[in-house]
Amino acid sequence: DVKVTQSSRYLVKRTGEKVFLECVQDMDHENMFWYRQDPGLGLRLIYFSYDVKMKEKGDIPEGYSVSREKKERFSLILESASTNQTSMYLCASRRQGATYYEQYFGPGTRLTVT
């Protein structure tokens, strides 16, 4: 069974802290994605990675960075957390190739910044 796992389901951090969200997939997928999900806004793409050490900005990259040192792992970094980054964060992976390949999602990390 394919699987995308995220390091935490719930996380509470203080304003100004550096926050790491980890995502691991076991499907040998080349592409990985980070989204944030907010009520009334749907999912918005923060960053994506086509392969190891490659990254591209999505629609809302400000305040975030990413790291992909190994194929199976994609990390989202909040350099200095702020209250407006309180959200649900979803990671996804996808096989490289046809645009009709589906994305597989992790269960999400609900981050609260106080």
Which residues contact other proteins by CB under 8 A?
4, 31, 33, 35, 40-45, 48, 50, 58, 90, 92, 98-103, 105-108
Give me the least distance between CB of 1 and other proteins, in Å please.
Answer: 12
- Residue 39 near residue 100 (C-beta atoms within 8 A): no
Query: CB of 110: closest distance to other proteins in angstroms?
Result: 10
Nearer to other proteins, 58 or 63 (CB): 58
30 Rama class: left (phi>0) / alpha (psi -120 to 50) / beta: alpha
Nearer of residues 15 and 96 to other proteins, judged by Cβ = 96
Q: What are phi and psi of 87, to 5 degrees?
A: -175, 175
| CB nearer to other proteins: pick between 21 and 92 | 92
Taking the least distance from each CB to other proteins, the nearer of 73 and 110 is 110
